[in-house]
C-alpha cells in the first residue's frame, strides 16, 4: 500500500482517481482511455487477489477455531462417558 492509501479514506482516493482520469481525458483522450483501462484491469486483479487472500485467511481461522471447538466437545463427551459408565466396570 502506498502512503496515500494509508493516509486517506477510500472515497477520497476514488474521487482523486476519477478526477485525475477526467483531467487526462481532457488533455489526451485516447491515451487517457487506454491508461484508465489498464488501471481498471490492475485494480480488478489486485481486488481479486485481495479477496482470495482474505478468503484463505478466513478459512484458516475458521478451521483453527473449529478444531479447538471439536477438541473441547470431544473432551466433554469423554468426561460424560466416564461419569456415566464409571460404575459399570
Q: What is the DSSP string of 14-52?
A: HHHHHHHHHHHHHH-HHHHHHHHHHHHHHHHHHHHHHHH
The string over 4-43, giving b where at least 16 C-beta atoms fall within 10 Å of a residue's C-beta and e elsewhere, is eeeeeeeeeeeeeeeeeeeeeeeeeeeebeeebeeeeeee
Instruction: Determine the pLDDT at residue 17.
Output: 72
Predicted TM-score of the model (pTM): 0.49
Instruction: Determine the pLDDT at residue 55.
Output: 94
pLDDT tens-digit readout, 10-58: 676 676 677 666 665 555 566 767 888 888 899 889 889 999 999 999 9
CA 69 to chain centre: 24
Which of 88 and 67 is assigned the larger pLDDT? 67
Number of structural domains found in the chain: 1
Instruction: Determine the pLDDT at residue 84.
Output: 86
Task: Give the domain range for residue 39.
Answer: 3-85
Amino acid at each position: 500500500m502506498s502512503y496515500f492509501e494509508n493516509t486517506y479514506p477510500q472515497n477520497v482516493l476514488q474521487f482523486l482517481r476519477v478526477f485525475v482520469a477526467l483531467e487526462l481525458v481532457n488533455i489526451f483522450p485516447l491515451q487517457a482511455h487506454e491508461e484508465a483501462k489498464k488501471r481498471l484491469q490492475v485494480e480488478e486483479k489486485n481486488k481479486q487477489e485481495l479477496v482470495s487472500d482474505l478468503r484463505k485467511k478466513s478459512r484458516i481461522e475458521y478451521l483453527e477455531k473449529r478444531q479447538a471447538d471439536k477438541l473441547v466437545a470431544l473432551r466433554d463427551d469423554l468426561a460424560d462417558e466416564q461419569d456415566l459408565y464409571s460404575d459399570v466396570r
